[in-house]
Amino acid sequence: MNNAHYFLGSSSSAGFKKPIKEILNDTDNTVYILKGTPGSGKSTLMKKISEAFSESKQDIYHCSADPDSLDAVYLTDKKALIIDGTAPHCIDPEYPKAVQTIVDIGAYIEAAKLRSKKNELIALTDEYSDCHKRCRSCLSAVSSVIDDIMASADSLLLNEKLDSFTERFIKRILPKNSDSCGKLITRQRSAVTMNGCSAYLPESGKIYLLKDDNISGAARFLEKAAKLICERGYTVQASRCYLSKTEFIEHITVPEADIHFITSNCINSLNVPETEKEINFRRFYDSKALRDNDNIKQRIKFGKRACAEFLKESAAALIDAKSIHDKIESYYISAADFDGIGRLAYKLISDIRSL
């Protein structure tokens, strides 16, 4: 069974963004909110549950700070969500027990074993926090640079030509699906990680690659395309770029048609080997105005260089944070009752099977 892979959220200059309100607010779901320390086994528990339901369709949500770890698993057939509710996600039940249940994995950590290591843990935790502050500072600079690139590029956009193309293109590839309007939901494909800006690309369907190093054209295309596709009766999954204050749409998926629009720009430099079509957005900018205006040309050129450098520094901060987090985890792992956590996993799997 092919599972869909996403990030639960992404770091930004304003902190951690977690755009999964649709699932959390759906009261038809059963939600298990995991609370526990680093190294208490939250990710391992989610992986065990995912493996137990390997024949079921799943949405797998990865941790942007460490993509090898899981932040959530959504079993679509069972309408069951298992999610890490600790910082930076900070998720609490709105309808306790009726819809959401807290699962206290911290109960399987022996506090007495940690008290003698209190000073080391406090120092490491403060150091870990400083790394994320450093990352946010870099992303704040990235945000300013991206906004300036987009402001410059906006002045060059051939809006009428782009909007006309968008309308024709969407009509051509997507027949009307329903007289009722579809809906726009969020699924985060991209995030800032230790490897820079990373993305989980679709594993099937038709991929239209939008190539736009100036960002604005593809962003305008996707905003308009998402609206048009919804009007044609489809559900649209949007992945936004939280590195800009405008939080523009960077990728969209139309699940019913298995169609995907993926942006490659100066932020993510995505390489997609197999595509249905590449759309190069150079034709939607006024090339003559760009040639004649040295100020705009230099602002965009500088912005791209600065963006790359600040993203490199933010990734370095996340690498340092991961190294410190691993040290913190080692203390908690040494104090964990993994037999008890194993029994908890078995109980949760049994509960979910009965849904």
Percent of the chain with pLDDT over 70: 100
Query: What is the residue whose two structure tokens read 């079993």?
Result: 75
pLDDT digits (tens, 9 = 90+) for 159-182: 999 999 999 999 999 999 888 899
Comparison of pLDDT for 87 and 52, the residue scoring more: 52
State the pLDDT confidence band at 88, using cuts at 50, 70 and 90: confident
The yes-or-no verdict on residue 21 having pLDDT over 80 is: no
What is the structure's pLDDT at 1? 60
The yes-or-no verdict on residue 233 having pLDDT over 90 is: yes
Among 246, 243, 250, 262, smallest CA distance to 303 is for 243
pLDDT digits (tens, 9 = 90+) for 191-223: 999 988 999 999 889 999 999 999 999 999 999
- Mean pLDDT value of segment 88-103: 91
Query: What is the residue whose two structure tokens read 């679709």?
Result: 202
Distance set, CA 114 to CA 37, 75, 278, 331 (Å): 12, 35, 55, 7
- Assessment of whether the complete model's pTM goes beyond 0.85: yes
Mean pLDDT of the chain: 93
Q: CA 243, 245, 248 angle in degrees (round to 5)?
A: 75
Comparison of pLDDT for 310 and 88, the residue scoring more: 310
Q: What is the dihedral of CA 233, 239, 243, 246, to 10 degrees?
A: 10
